[in-house]
Amino acid sequence: MWSLLGAEMRREWIQLRRYPTELASQLVVIVAIFYSLFLGASYMAGTTTFGNRLSDIIVGYTLWTLAIASVDVMGWTIATEALNGTLEQIFLSPYGARCILLARNAVNVIFNLIFSAFTLLIIMALTGRWLTISPWDLLPGFLMTVAAMGLGFLVASATILVKRSNQLLNLLQFVLLFLVMSPFGSLPGAWHLVSLVVPFAPMVTLLRHMMTHGVPLWSDSQWLYFSITNAAVWFLIGLAVFSVAERRARKQGVLGHY
């Protein structure tokens, strides 16, 4: 497994060195979208002071960039390998498709954590709103990536069978934006239970409490337990569905199709 992770790390590093303009363009686009929304909202409200709402939006937007990277990489991997005619090689490898996808996603998460950190710093500098950041913030971010891997397996399951899922992946970006930016943790009454089921909702709520209000991790143990449960459930659901889709694709003989 370590050799697989090392190979995926070298692969990702070679791609970053070979296509640096892709990374730079992605950073510019993500920051430009947020800053355009910020300027538009400031113009409509007549002020650049939004209280804690701005901090919550900054946290949510940064988490959205991280979620996209974790979810999309599996779907794009299946689609790209199918287009190149090498999808069967992944499934016939000694490691298996699940291990390869997990290793590729794990390496992708490492690079995207660094990317998201740069994005957050630039956004905070542009808006003038500096958040409380501590090493403990990595734990909710890690749990969020675990849940995102589960969703990524769900996307990969659909891609194995239909192969062409470009529009689905594009649509999924807006679905993830809704999941991350919606204040599920603030819903009243029985609707509060929705925040325990919806992907990312407990992690986003926990991270907002920590970064916006400076609440220590262990003093908000309720949301921490909810986050761990949410991440584990969605990850296991993704693995189970992917196993079913893999067996069905093998049975139908569509792994080599594109």
| Res. 236 pLDDT band, cuts 50 70 90 | very high
The single-letter code of the amino acid at 225 is Y
Give which of 202, 236, 237 is closest to 221, Cα–Cα. 202
- Please, what is the average pLDDT of the chain? 78
Q: Could you read off the pLDDT of 19-45 as tens digits, one per residue?
A: 778 778 888 888 888 888 777 777 666
The DSSP code for 48 is S
* In contact, 182 and 207? CB cutoff 8 Å: no
Judge whether residue 65 has pLDDT over 70.
yes
Q: Give the whole-angstrom CA distance, residue 204 versus residue 206.
A: 5
206 Cβ partners below 8 Å, 6+ apart?
Answer: 140, 217, 220, 223, 224, 226, 227
Lowest-pLDDT range of 99-103, 116-120, 231-235, 254-258: 254-258
Q: Which residue has the tokens 């060195």?
A: 17
Q: What is the largest CA-CA distance in the chain?
A: 61
For residue 132 the two structure tokens come to 């409380």
CA–CA distances in Å: residue 16 to residues 10, 83, 119, 165? 10, 21, 17, 24
Check: pTM over 0.75? Answer yes or no: yes
Show me where the domains of the chain are located: 2-252
Q: What is the DSSP string of 32-50?
A: HHHHHHHHHHHHHHT-S--
Judge whether residue 123 has pLDDT over 80.
yes
Q: Which residue has better confidence, 176 or 46?
A: 176
Give which of 44, 56, 33 is closest to 122, Cα–Cα. 33
Please tell me which of 46-60, 81-95, 107-121, 232-246 the model is most confident about, judged by mean pLDDT: 232-246
* In contact, 149 and 69? CB cutoff 8 Å: no
Give the pLDDT confidence score for residue 255 in this predicted structure.
63
Q: Which residue has better confidence, 174 or 83?
A: 174
Q: Which residue has the tokens 């992690």?
A: 203
Q: What is the DSSP string of 240-257?
A: HHHHHHHHHHHHHT-TT-
Give the pLDDT confidence score for residue 22 in this predicted structure.
77
